[in-house]
Amino acid sequence: MPERLAAFLAAREQGVTDVEVTSYRVMTGGYSRLLARADVTWQRHGEPEQRTFVLRGDPPPDRSLIHTDRSYEWDVLHAVAGRARIAAPIHFDATGEHLGTKAIVLEHSTAMSLLPYCAGRDDVGDLPSRLAEAAASFHTIPIDDLPDSIERPPSYDGYLTSRIDEWRGTDRAHVESEPFLRYVAAWLDAHRPPPVPLTLIHGDFQSANMLVDDDGHLVLLDWELAQIGDPREDLGYFKAVAQAAPPDLTDAEEFCAHYRELTGFDEAQVNPAIVSYFLILGVIGTVRRLLEGGAAFARGENHLLASLFNLNSVQFGHMMWMQAMTQLEAALASADQSGMA
Amino acid sequence: MLSKPTTDHVIHGVVRSLEEIVLPTITDEPARVAVQMVQQILRSAAVRAAHEIAWMHEEIESIRTAAAAFAEEPAVAEALGALDELDPTLLELADVQARYDRAGEVLSRTVEAAYAANDGAAIGRTRQLLEQRSAHEMAIVGQLDLVGRG
């Protein structure tokens, strides 16, 4: 691979010679794509330069946990570049003929992963506000500025209905009955939130996909699951994953308030109870993909360790959804009582 | 068949060997993550091996009781009929799992009937069944550690 990468970069970078990949290491940190870090040196117009890249490519089909499209991800990265902080997309092997698999070459970020950053501190400081800013940075991109490859849902109500139906559909498609999914669908339908405009959503907005930059702002990674949806799905998804991998930055009082300031949403549209609603709704895409992996394993169609491993996350989710429904019902009952008073 | 150590005990022994003998020798990070995933999967499998047949039997009976209130609803009646086609005396894991699967469908349809009727008490009963199921699942999951992430 180092030789292929060197040849690829020599062809793509303007005015460089003597390209050498001095270090090439496979990275952990993602379950879905092949990741590698490459340290590279070259001469540009006679001057030595040193760069570090991250390669993000498709695994072989029989080792692919979820199926997403690198061309789509490349489009999304360009749509959010300059608005959200991301690892800059530099080059793309759109066919895999150069790098052996369809792969995006990203600028390596020296920022620190959010989880270890938090683990080393007693206080998360202003990270809740930084999280609100990170979310708002792409939730406020006008839909007309997004590439045509991102599907536009016809209406908010239709979109929400389709998301709720996805719970039922996931049960129907699974290898065994999954009554939690049908219960959640019935519950979500009975407790619909006030609508907001649909926007670009990240789709995997969790601490593992975030880095903390030198100035404390968040860099967002892994845009392969981005789509147009309800922006509160990202907030709920962050909260959901934070239950297993704390801290939950959405819990801080300033989070919702700052997010509302930046997006223009009102308090009925974004508040802690609404975020809890989306803690449930927002995870269905991931739940569906995890169950598809488990089902494929059960049918003998794959042999991926991660497919088995991730089933525990789904079961953890069952417990979390039940707790969130209980808390939200209590919040709604309390609000009703206040209204009556 | 030698039944001792029991299956769950055997699996826990394997997990311990991975921890004490294999993991300390692995420096390759992706391989370490893979072994840690294997350990979690095996711990879960040990709990299932010890309890899953009993737990599935218990849940099937509880679901049948909860569904009785909606047994006249065609969708629930159909699912109950499908459950009753299977022999409850068979103890092979595959047979018990097949009944559990059909009981799960009975529960789902009971939930939907309860919500359609806006019957708070019935909704609460189905919720209790799911909480019981979740308690078993959390015993299987143990301490969820998302190894290799972040």
Q: Is the bond preceding residue A247 a cis peptide, omega within 30 degrees?
A: yes
The alpha-carbon gap from A260 to the nearest alpha carbon of chain B, in Å, equals 28
In this prediction, residue A282 carries a pLDDT of 86
Q: What does the domain layout of chain A look like in residue ranges?
A: 2-107, 112-340
pLDDT tens-place string over residues A147-190 = 999 999 999 999 999 999 999 999 999 999 999 999 999 999 99
In this prediction, residue A28 carries a pLDDT of 64
Q: Identify the burial level of A203 via C-beta atoms within 10 angstroms of its C-beta, where 0-12 means exposed, 13-18 middle and 19 or more buried.
A: buried
* Amino acid present at A146: L
Asked if A265 contacts A196 with a C-beta cutoff of 8 angstroms, the reply is: yes
Whether the model clears a pTM of 0.90, i.e. scores above it, the answer is no
The alpha-carbon gap from B41 to the nearest alpha carbon of chain A, in Å, equals 6
Nearest CA in chain B to A113: B150
Report CA A109 to chain centroid distance, whole Å. Answer: 17
> Is B141 in contact with A245 (Cβ distance < 8 A)?
no
Region A3-9 average pLDDT: 91
Q: Which residues of A touch B44 (CB under 8 A)?
A: 312
C-alpha Rg value of chain A to the nearest Å: 21
> Is A208 in contact with B146 (Cβ distance < 8 A)?
yes
The CATH code for residues A112-340 is 3.90.1200.10
The alpha-carbon gap from A309 to the nearest alpha carbon of chain B, in Å, equals 6
Count of CB atoms situated within 10 Å of the CB of A247:
18
The larger pLDDT score, comparing residue A192 to residue A336, is at A192
Does residue A340 carry a pLDDT above 70? no
At B88, is the pLDDT very low, low, confident or very high (cuts 50, 70, 90)? very high
Tokens representing B95 are 């047979």
Asked if A298 contacts A256 with a C-beta cutoff of 8 angstroms, the reply is: no
> Is A190 in contact with B115 (Cβ distance < 8 A)?
yes
- Rounded-to-10 torsion of CA A231, A182, A317, A32: -70
pLDDT tens-place string over residues A197-232 = 999 999 999 999 999 999 999 999 999 999 999 999
Asked if A313 contacts B144 with a C-beta cutoff of 8 angstroms, the reply is: yes
Domain A2-107 grouped into CATH 1.20.970.10: no
Q: What does the domain layout of chain B look like in residue ranges?
A: 7-141
Q: Distance between CA A182 and CA A8 in Å, rounded?
A: 49
At A136, is the pLDDT very low, low, confident or very high (cuts 50, 70, 90)? very high
Asked if A92 contacts A74 with a C-beta cutoff of 8 angstroms, the reply is: yes
Nearest CB to B150 within list A26, A245, A309: A245
In this prediction, the answer to ipTM > 0.90 reads yes
Helix, strand, coil percent content, chain A, rounded in steps of 5:
50, 20, 35
In this prediction, residue B143 carries a pLDDT of 80
pLDDT tens-place string over residues A32-54 = 667 889 999 999 888 999 999 99
Asked if A119 contacts A75 with a C-beta cutoff of 8 angstroms, the reply is: no
Region A128-151 average pLDDT: 96
The alpha-carbon gap from B6 to the nearest alpha carbon of chain A, in Å, equals 23
Instruction: Give residue ranges of B with CB < 8 Å to any A CB.
Output: 29-30, 33-34, 37-38, 40-41, 44, 97, 100-105, 107-108, 111-112, 115, 126-127, 130-131, 133-134, 137-138, 140-141, 144, 146, 148-150
Q: Which residues of B touch A303 (CB under 8 A)?
A: none
Does residue A31 carry a pLDDT above 70? no
In this structure, what are the phi and psi dihedrals at residue A225, rounded to the nearest 5 degrees? -100, 10
- For residue A104, the SS3 value is strand
Q: Distance between CA A73 and CA A81 in Å, rounded?
A: 12
Best mutation target, A178, A319, A321, to test chain B (most B CBs within 10 A): A319
At A87, is the pLDDT very low, low, confident or very high (cuts 50, 70, 90)? very high
Mean pLDDT over all residues of chain A? 91
